[in-house]
Structure 1
Amino acid sequence: MKLTLAALLTASLLGCASSPTIEDVKDVTISQPACCHAYSEFAWIPMSGDSIDFVVDEHSQIGDFAEGKSYFSGFVLPENVDRMRVDLKSWMRTSGVFAPKVLLLSPTFQVVESFELTDFDFKPSSLFQLNSYHKRFEMTQTATPYMVVYSPLEYREGQIEVPHPERIRAEELGLARPMVTDPVIQHQKFGSLELDLKPVALRSYRATDVPEVAVATPTATKSNSAPVATATTTATAVSVATPSSAKMLPESEAFYNSQIKAAVESNDLKKALTLMEEAKRAGSSTAETTFLELIKQ
């Protein structure tokens, strides 16, 4: 009888140990109101530099899309780029992944092209990068200067089964498939993403189109000094505008200022300072003033 009771107790304990752990239900709903109901009301981040690391989090804008509300990020081509090759990657972490949908908009904010989640490729991890959703496409100044990255509720409710690294390695080497379980990554309403940017064609401007810069004329210090001759030279060469010389769009100014304010209110001064410097490099004229006024309060 003692042996029977011991066997039953052992079986019970093993059963408890092998039973699946009840996981917390993920929260993919959005209860906050949308900031905008039209694409023209979105705030846009200039696509300057070689890459942009960004996150979609609780500080991001909320849009009211055809599929419902979603946190999103909006981007716009800089004035000096006519055509841009874009690689969008959404990183897969153990905490989840942002399953993206992309809209490319015309200069009048009409949807020209869209990329569903099924259009994205799964890119396996490497020595320096995580697994990711990946999509390469091109944007043009005349047809699709605006891009929106968001995640519909249908996507957020899903998940992806990621090939185990040992299985990938065995397939590459032609070995027998190992006895491993492929991990499952849950789709979430927040996530970390990256844009790799490669300008394919630049827009050029004649010198007459560039705003004139006033140059101070030296003043003679002696009465018998020869008068200083001043001459206006008209440049005939074609110059290319740089992102730092372009004036930031009002929508982008509003976006950066709101992000700086949110960072200061959450006592994350490092993030606020980083946003201010990024906005200044992109041509903002109000970010520094906004930052200084907020930290004085």
Structure 2
Amino acid sequence: MTNIMRNYQRFKMALAVSSAVWLVGCASNLPEEVPVAPNREACCATFQQLPYVQLKENETLTVSLGPQSEVFSFSEGKSYTQAFRFNDRTARAQISVKSVMQHGRVFVPRVLLLDKHYQVIKTLGADMFTPQTANLLDSSQLSGSFDSEGARYMVMYTNATTLGHKITLPHPAKLRAQELGEPMPMVTDPTYRYAPTGQVSVTVVTKEYATVLSSDNTSVSDSVTPQGVKQPEAQKETVDFYKQAIAAAISEKDISKAMALLNEAKALKIEGADKIFIELIENQLNDAQ
């Protein structure tokens, strides 16, 4: 009976050890094949032709980059790609990107910020993303945060020239032992290869909202013109209308109406409105004498 119990205890210990080795191996063993870039034709020739996901003012969404994704040819080579369009109300936003590290692989994001003409205004590379070891709530991941800097579009892909490179993180058990002051466990640090596919979450938080000029030209408004935006010149028909309307109001001795029309004309940047008003008032005074 004693031998049976002893053999049973040995079996349980062997099973526990093999299970631990299997779990560590799943997290750290590298795939035998080196990841390669997608080999199918690019979907588009320019950034403008890419399909863009419309972002909300504030939201978090998760995307999977893989065979179902669009392929685009970048200067570093082809890559599965995800493109985003910022909300029209968003003038500036804080962006957080997290890429899950799993099964010995990780998609290392590379981000392009584009202006409204689809021109690149900033490139964010791998150095923007920091590896974070897994905890009770989250898997190991690459995490980065940056400002949209007024961009209208964002394109995410990975650098094809770095595929197959490796990144090693400290095993969670080691970190826990260090925190608790316990003996260091005999575990293997997980290693991940840079891969062309992966799962990425994107969080956008609007920090500044876009402003627009009022299109209502029938009333006076002290609207603020955004810096760098040129106020459009009033059309000739509008100029003629206000000049004639001011003259008619003064002719009818309705000075309040003439003043209101003058203020509207000034708000519309109509040149000469002040001069016409003064001349007509002077003529009225001279005629009265």
Q: Same fold (TM over 0.5)?
A: yes
Specify the alignment match of 1:46 in structure 2: 54
Q: How does 1:250-261 map to 2 (within 5 A)?
A: none
Q: Secondary structure at the match of 1:92?
A: strand
- Cα distance in 2 for partners of 1:102, 1:172 equals 35
Query: Which of the numbers 90, 93, 100 marks the counterpart of 2:99?
Result: 90
Q: Secondary structure at the match of 2:102?
A: coil
Query: What amino acid sits opposite 1:47 in the alignment?
Result: L
2:224 aligned with 1:178:
no
Contact 1:99 1:155 in 2 (8 A): no
Specify the alignment match of 1:106 in structure 2: 115
- Cα distance in 1 for partners of 2:180, 2:144 equals 27
Which ranges in structure 1 are unaligned for 5 or more consecutive residues?
1-19, 210-233, 239-297
2:166 aligned with 1:159:
yes
TM-aligned CA distance change 1:202 to 1:22, over 3 Å:
closer
Offset of residue 205 of structure 1: 4.8
TM-aligned CA distance change 1:182 to 1:29, over 3 Å:
same
Q: Secondary structure at the match of 1:108?
A: coil
Q: How does 1:196-215 map to 2 (within 5 A)?
A: 196-205=203-212
Specify the alignment match of 1:24 in structure 2: 32
Q: Secondary structure at the match of 1:50?
A: strand
Specify the alignment match of 2:128 in structure 1: 119
Specify the alignment match of 1:132 in structure 2: 141
The structure with more radius of gyration: 2
Offset of residue 116 of structure 1: 1.4
Offset of residue 66 of structure 1: 0.5
The superposition leaves residues 148-189 of structure 1 with CA deviations (integer Å, 9 ceiling, x where unpaired) of: 111122222212212111111122234443221101122221
Contact 1:37 1:65 in 2 (8 A): no
* Alignment root-mean-square deviation, CA: 3.0
The superposition leaves residues 21-51 of structure 1 with CA deviations (integer Å, 9 ceiling, x where unpaired) of: 9953144232100112222222211121420
The superposition leaves residues 262-295 of structure 1 with CA deviations (integer Å, 9 ceiling, x where unpaired) of: xxxxxxxxxxxxxxxxxxxxxxxxxxxxxxxxxx
Specify the alignment match of 1:62 in structure 2: 71
Contact 1:28 1:156 in 2 (8 A): yes
Contact 1:46 1:75 in 2 (8 A): yes
